[in-house]
């Protein structure tokens, strides 16, 4: 994905990308290469399931390695613990917000490559994250969501290690 803004990522998120890359390159790919080499030595490759599946899996791994390599190359590692102004919402902040019905929700603004909505980790470029950027406790922010416009009040802001 090509974007006009930097591909921010936390140190932990970058470490996960690196671990996945290392696992694919150092463990999974060598195993598949071994299977394909063995299968190729068994003769007719056109009907050899191990060979055909192995080649397909190797292409998938190579594609994933290329994507991960590009993500790591484009990544700008930002450590939220180093944020000088912890009174406002910036990258890496954990923010508690309340909507018009006083429903509270806590989200952490992380890199787009490390989102996990089920635990409240939302991408830096999502509509809610964009609306919250620079906000302080007590600020009201409007967000256009697929279900319509919604207003949130910033209730609390925290950063790791603070």
Percent of the chain with pLDDT over 70: 96
40 Cβ neighbours under 8 A, 6+ residues apart: 48, 51
Full-model pTM: 0.79
Q: Supply φ then ψ for residue 6, to 5 degrees.
A: -60, 150
What are 57-92's pLDDT values in tens digits? 999 999 999 999 999 998 999 999 999 999 999 999
């Amino acid at each position: 994905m090509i974007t006009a803004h930097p591909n921010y990522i936390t140190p932990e998120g970058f470490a996960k990308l690196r671990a996945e890359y290392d696992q694919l390159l150092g463990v999974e790919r060598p195993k598949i290469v071994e299977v394909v080499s063995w299968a190729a030595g068994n003769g007719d490759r056109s009907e050899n399931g191990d060979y055909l599946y192995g080649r397909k899996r190797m292409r998938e791994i190579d594609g994933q390695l290329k994507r991960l390599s590009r993500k790591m190359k484009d990544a700008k590692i930002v450590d939220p613990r180093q944020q000088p102004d912890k009174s406002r919402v910036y990258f890496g902040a954990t923010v508690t917000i309340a909507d018009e019905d006083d429903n509270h929700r806590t989200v952490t603004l992380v890199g787009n490559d490390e989102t996990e909505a089920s635990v409240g980790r939302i991408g830096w470029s999502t509509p809610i994250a964009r609306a919250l950027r620079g906000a302080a406790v007590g600020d009201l922010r409007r967000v256009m969501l697929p279900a319509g416009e919604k207003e949130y009040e910033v209730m609390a802001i925290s950063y790791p290690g603070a």
